[in-house]
Amino acid sequence: MTLPDETYDITHSILSITLDNASANTKSIALFTERNIPQAGGYFFHQCCACHIINLVVQSGLKEVSNRIERIRDAISWIGSSNPRFQEFGRHCTLNGFYNMKLAESGCPPAQSLTPDDWYVAKIFVEFLQVFYNATVTLSGVYYPTSSQAIHQIVEMSDMLNTYREDDLLGDAVVAMETKFKKYWSEMPFLYALGVIVDPRIKLAGLEYLLEFTGNKLSIDYSEQITDFRNKLFEVFSIYERRFGGIHTELSPEPDTQPLPTSWSILKRRKKDKSASSSSSTTRSAASSGAELNRFLEAQFDADENTENFDLLLWWKTYSYRYLVLSHLARDILVIPVSTVSSEQAFSTSGRIIEPRRNCLTPEMVEVLICIRDWEHARKRMQNETVDEQFIQNFSNLYVDEGSGSNQ
């Protein structure tokens, strides 16, 4: 991590590094900060991968239902291992329905302990995990801002946990997932908060309501954090104001904006329950400086319509002349990813760059190949596509007999 710093002299240019929560990464960040000066007060310097946290949450729930899932897997494996069994399976499905299959009578050891509850847990848990899967896909995107999406996904996941917490069969799994969820997100990252604050449809008032909604679902008190976020917001803005302020910009009418279809019903409910005037006065009283930031926060809050056409980056590009300083802050915040690949995958060249046929490459040549690969993937917009390493390995192991075949 220090080599690029020494080579390219970027000591004062690093805003954020997103890694998983491995202890080795935490130690690396500590060493890195000793040699570098974090930007923006250091509030965004080290971000834990959100998708890694979601995986830990899901794994904690899977452990609670693993016995039921394994019994179903064993039964399916036993059926698929024999064609006569598979045909018998199809006959029972056709005649008696899925839950009336008489696998136990056919001598299937795992089926002797299968119950309708096992099938219920498997069916409901798949539907339950769909929200977490959607969150992982959304937050692992590479061609749109993810920092502005994190709290929306947290709201969706917290609502799902609250819905199934009292389920007789899934309750233990949900409680385990909720415990892991609170371990990482009972203290909301400032990046996530600022990611929705710079959204002109949400801002500080919308953030407060979303955190209140999440807190009520999971019994978490975010009130002190909301106050802390407000103070940090003006603190970070003052840093950017010193760097980019001093240029007068002409004011223009606020643009019409339309929100995305994620958690917006909650925000619409907030507008009905709480007048915008009370939220604006609270924001104004909390700030003694930053006229541009106050003007942005006090602009009309609207979340009445649902459309997918709103482009947050385009909005800030279009109205950067109106919010000269804040647009720089928004640009830096929206560029920070909330998820990343594992460090082992990111920095491992085994099997992709260095392999048996190219195991004598110089370090410089390896660097060239890695850069060219990344640039080419970026050009073709393939950076979020996964590579089937097993398929590549199998293809590499193929033996072609050039002497076989008919001569024509």
Determine the Cα–Cα distance for residues 24 and 292; give it in Å rounded to an integer: 41
Say if CB 190 and CB 204 are below 8 A apart. Answer: no
CB-based contacts of 291: which residues, under 8 Å, 6+ apart? none
Structural domain count, the chain: 3
- Same domain for 363 and 281? no
- Same domain for 167 and 180? yes
Determine the Cα–Cα distance for residues 196 and 211; give it in Å rounded to an integer: 11
* pLDDT per position as a tens digit, 49-58: 888 899 999 9
- Same domain for 235 and 327? yes
Q: Is there a domain that residue 254 lies in? A: yes
Q: Is there a domain that residue 71 lies in? A: no
Q: Is there a domain that residue 99 lies in? A: no
Residue type, 280: S
Q: What's the whole-number mean pLDDT along residues 24-47?
A: 63
Quote the pTM value: 0.72
- Same domain for 285 and 371? no
Say if CB 161 and CB 218 are below 8 A apart. Answer: yes
Closest CA to 129 of 237, 55, 50: 55
- Domain with 237, as residue range(s), is 51-65+122-334
Looking at the chain, how many residues does it have? 408
Q: What's the whole-number mean pLDDT along residues 248-253?
A: 48
- Same domain for 179 and 159? yes
Q: What's the whole-number mean pLDDT along residues 152-173?
A: 92
Determine the Cα–Cα distance for residues 322 and 291; give it in Å rounded to an integer: 12
- Same domain for 201 and 276? yes
Q: Is there a domain that residue 103 lies in? A: no
Q: Is there a domain that residue 253 lies in? A: yes
- Same domain for 284 and 137? yes
- Same domain for 278 and 129? yes
- Same domain for 9 and 152? no
Q: What's the whole-number mean pLDDT along residues 34-46?
A: 64
Closest CA to 169 of 61, 56, 57, 55: 61
Say if CB 18 and CB 337 are below 8 A apart. Answer: yes
Q: How far apart are the first and last CA of the chain?
A: 59
* pLDDT per position as a tens digit, 266-310: 666 666 565 544 444 444 434 445 788 999 988 875 554 445 678
Determine the Cα–Cα distance for residues 381 and 141; give it in Å rounded to an integer: 11
Instruction: Collect contacts of 43-46 with beta carbons under 8 A, ≥24 apart.
Output: 43/190, 43/191, 43/232, 43/236, 44/15, 44/16, 44/190, 44/191, 44/333, 44/336, 45/14, 45/15, 45/16, 45/17, 46/16, 46/17, 46/19
Q: Across-strand partners of 48?
A: 19
- Same domain for 27 and 56? no
| Number of neighbouring beta carbons within 10 Å of residue 147 | 27
Q: Is there a domain that residue 280 lies in? A: yes
Say if CB 176 and CB 60 are below 8 A apart. Answer: yes
Q: Across-strand partners of 47?
A: 18
Burial annotation 338-356 (CB, 10 A radius, 16+ → b, else e): bbbeeeeeeeeeeeebeee
- Same domain for 59 and 165? yes
| Number of neighbouring beta carbons within 10 Å of residue 163 | 14
- Same domain for 271 and 164? yes
Task: Identify the pLDDT of residue 17.
Answer: 65
Task: Identify the pLDDT of residue 6.
Answer: 54
**Is residue 67 predicted with pLDDT exceeding 80?**
yes
Q: Is there a domain that residue 104 lies in? A: no
Determine the Cα–Cα distance for residues 6 and 226; give it in Å rounded to an integer: 38
Q: Is there a domain that residue 242 lies in? A: yes
